Amino acid sequence: MGGSPKKSLVFAYYVTGHGFGHATRTVEIVRNLIQAGHDVHVVAGAPEYVFTTAIQSPRLFIRKVLLDSGAVQADALTVDRLASLEKYIETAVVPRASILATEVEWLKSIKADLVVSDVVPVACRAAADAGIRSVCVTNFSWDFIYAEYVMAAGYNNRPIIWQIAEDYSVCEFLIRLPGYCPMPAFRDVVDVPLVVRRLQKSRSEVRKELGIGSDTKVLLYNFGGQLSGWNLQENYLPSGWICLVCGAPEGQELPQNFVKLPKNVYTPDIVAASDCMLGKIGYGTVSEALSYRVPFVFVRRDYFNEEPFLRHMLEHFQCGVEMIRRDLLTGHWAPYLTRAITLEPCYDGGINGAEVAASILQDTASGKSQASCKLSGSRRLRDAIVLGYQLQRVPGKDIAVPEWYAVAQNELSFRSVSPNDKMFQTSPSTKETEDFEILHGDHHGLSDTIGFLKSLAELRDLADPINNNTHHSRESLAAAAMFNWEDEIFVARAPGRLDVMGGIADYSGCLVLQMPTKEACHVAIQRNHRSKQKLWKHAQARQQTEPTPVIQIVSFGSEIGNRGPTFDMDLSDLMDGGKPIAYGKAQKYFSQDPSQKWAAYVAGTILVLMTELGVCFKDSISILVSSGVPEGKGVSSSAAVEVASMSAVAAAHGLTISPRDLAMLCQKVENHIVGAPCGVMDQMASACGEANKLLAMVCQPAEVIGLVEIPPHIRFWGIDSGIRHSVGGADYGSVRVGAFMGRKIVKSTASVQISYSNLDNDPSQQVNGNTLDEREKDGKNLLETEASLDYLCNLSPHRYEAVYIDKLPEFLQGQEFLDKYINHEDSVTAIDKKHNYAVRAPTRHPIYENFRVKAFKALLSAIPSDDQLSSLGEIMYQCHYSYSHCGLGSVGTDRLVELVQQVQHCKLSKSESGTLFGAKITGGGSGGTVCVIGRNLLRSSEQILEIQQRYKAATGFLPYIFEGSSPGAGKFGYLRIRVKSLTRQEEPNH
């Protein structure tokens, strides 16, 4: 640390209540401040011994106060998102006023020169109110962590994020630690090296004290002390290994090759004395693994947004090996440990961050100003974009972004492509490409398909040990290792879909109009007899004496959603007593590890084919999934994965399934194995759609009535709002329940009216010799039809208004409905007895939407005119606001629709006879993408780009624009490919 100032300074150092990691890194900075002659008052909820065992000084003052709560963990690997928000509200939001008053008074009483926060939001605000400068020291901030939790809890919790970010914004600057997350709330940033606890003993001293020989392999087992219910067994370790266990409960008995460490053991010394570490990722464990170059076998922790950035840094410096949670709990550790000790960690950055940070804090407290980052505005914008889960960087213009910071991109589908790119230069015949012979099918000239084939060739090259001497992503290595590249591979493709009209009314039997997107999912699959199967080492470890078939899946681009990039299971796991397992059991199987739940969309297709078609799978199956359909944007990324996966599985096993039937089977995957209560239109559009046409389908359950040509003067665009849409979300499900409640009430009302009109034997009701039932026979028949209403969309708007609207409550509690109507007759949703469901709006929407879609379809074939376009646009607007009445709107999609209206009604557009005419939210709503209709003119595209930029200016998010179309899976077919032989590739061209 640099020279000390003339006077002793007073620091108030606040430490977050989330775990001990923050406290332990704080110790190092505090130690340096005290050594420089300053007083440090630490405000923390951690036990005093964390600080006092490392620092014995009269200049250290401990004040035990909890001012925030961090993330509440349901277990060692799972964060409870809702409980985390509830705890934060209880700890920091409700008592905020009293906290601020207390802290301001206390800060003044100790005459603090500087407030330091790691990373307590209210501490920054208290410092500002007390007139004291403040600085944060951290690698993540709570607004970033909680942002994803709010997505799960509902938008009414958004003010929590805004308040946290506002508190951070008053801080003078951020001392940013490596492994950092996006933190746009901070005005300025100063980067420092790793803050790491220094070693107190050498490796040999630690081993000598523990009685462990220098040649013995030692594993450090460190999960933050949460081991309750985890049964450790002797055979979990390779022969001759010893495992040192941190945080074992006092009463837990361990096998003889496991050693329980004392509660107050100094962990850094143990880390440096070990050959590898097994645990969950946190700043402390990662910084120590990197600093002391100890390989780290980690298991993913769910719903903690700090983890991907630390994980990327670990893997970038070749210090990390991921273990599947299933293998952790069942003891298949050996392949991971043997892989870990072959790593050569190469972190070469500084580890003196504590000293550097303390020097910066000392200078700041002395009155010196830190140099402002000239690129601060650009840095904050970049962080804001990443905060929205969309890292959109311009090549060559990145601003000091370390390689480990970039959220992993999809190596196959997110590469920049253009028709002139050399990677797409193919022979005139589509029966081969530069690298593959196409034995069946053709690539249809689709640039994404050609790019996918090129990427497969790159994976084949990567499988050659000669080419495998540079750093590659784990998903690339896993994909390269699972294929037998000399054998045939099958490739299928399925696009996403832009919901032009119909949306959520599909489950009520509506007519829908869907356009396949240009963006698509590719799936490459290979089946191999178990004697030829190439298995990953941890999958091999599960094999008994007789090899058993295995399913291995790699998902490219998985890190964008913090998913595990690989998944594997024994094929026998899908069987129970010689029969396919029940769908409910499969749903539980895939849900046991949230980071691998995505595999249900892929492996679930195999189970559905077993169950519904009786297909018997005997060979191992290797599957590579590469989707260019952006997730969470309401364009059916999940349907594209399901349809492409099932198409590839069917092709590889010689199954002929019509596109319609394939879509129906894929819906079973989503409804029963994934557990999302969607209709079938997404899968139908992906399977049956054609380029530049709208698939017209009546969802009763899935009757394709034709393909509607998009008139040449009309064009559709999709604009992403940046608000993540989830069809499995509570809003979508409750609206569906409300619609089915409404249908049941309509049916019940019609039945009651029939009983009132059944007056055959009542002479007093006769008029001119005619009984009422004879006179109103047609009306009674109509009521009978409505009493057995199969789909809500079969009720006409005028009958809804004339007979039923007043019978439908605005809202109805689940228990009240069940008491009166018993059930809502929907097999894929369940009624929550305590939930208060909207009924009237969700019932009204599909009835009127069906009418709107029919009118829209008819208008598309009308004579081109301004009235035609205006009417089409008006129908879309009406649909959008009907979504909002159901509770499925969002701030982002509403803003985009407003921007379209502003462009449509501006004077320039009117003078040009208009270019954009309407817009609507799509798919399941609650965010996602807006569909826009306009003239097929260059000016229209320019206006779409203008809306994109205006939205970015207002929100900080640059929307993705969907433009163009492509064939559905049925039209594409499949490719059967084989790598060209080396000799043939070397033949000269004639």
Q: Is 74 helix (H, G, I), strand (E, B) or coil?
A: strand
The Cα 605–Cα 646 span in angstroms is: 5
Long-range contact pairs involving 580-586 (C-beta distance under 8 Å, separation at least 24)? 580/607, 580/610, 580/611, 581/607, 583/607, 583/611, 583/668, 583/672, 583/673, 584/672, 586/672, 586/673
220: left (phi over 0), alpha (psi -120 to 50) or beta: beta
Cβ distance 353 to 284 under 8 Å?
no
Q: Which of 65, 66, 1, 62 is nearest to 27 (CA)?
A: 62
Q: Which residues pair with 498 in a beta bridge?
A: 515
What does the radius of gyration of the chain's CA atoms come to, in whole angstroms? 31
| Cα angle, residue 110 at apex, residues 167 and 115 outer, rounded to 5° | 30
Residue 739 CA to its chain's centroid (Å): 28
Cβ distance 321 to 289 under 8 Å?
no
The Cα 744–Cα 823 span in angstroms is: 8
Q: Which of 53, 16, 56, 8 is nearest to 33 (CA)?
A: 8
Q: Which amino acid is it at 261?
A: L
Q: Is the dihedral of CA 674, 679, 680, 685 positive or negative?
A: negative
State the catalytic residue, choosing from 39, 619, 682, 720: 682
| Cα angle, residue 768 at apex, residues 763 and 770 outer, rounded to 5° | 60
Output the DSSP codes for 14-69.
EE-SSTTHHHHHHHHHHHHHHHTT-EEEEEESS-THHHHTT---TTEEEEE-----
Q: Which of 607, 700, 702, 605 is nearest to 661 (CA)?
A: 702
Where do runs of H (alpha helix) occur along 464-497? 474-482
Q: Which of 441, 446, 479 is nearest to 978 (CA)?
A: 441
444: left (phi over 0), alpha (psi -120 to 50) or beta: left
Which pair of tokens denotes residue 329?
């709990």
Cβ distance 897 to 883 under 8 Å?
no
Q: Which residues pair with 64 in a beta bridge?
A: 44
Q: H/E element holding 327?
A: helix 325-330
- Residues 6 or more apart in contact with residue 104 via CB below 8 angstroms: 126, 129, 130
CA distances to 260, 274, 975 from 257, in Å = 10, 14, 52
DSSP 619: S
Q: Which amino acid is it at 507?
A: Y
790 catalytic residue (yes or no): no
Q: Which residues are catalytic?
A: 682
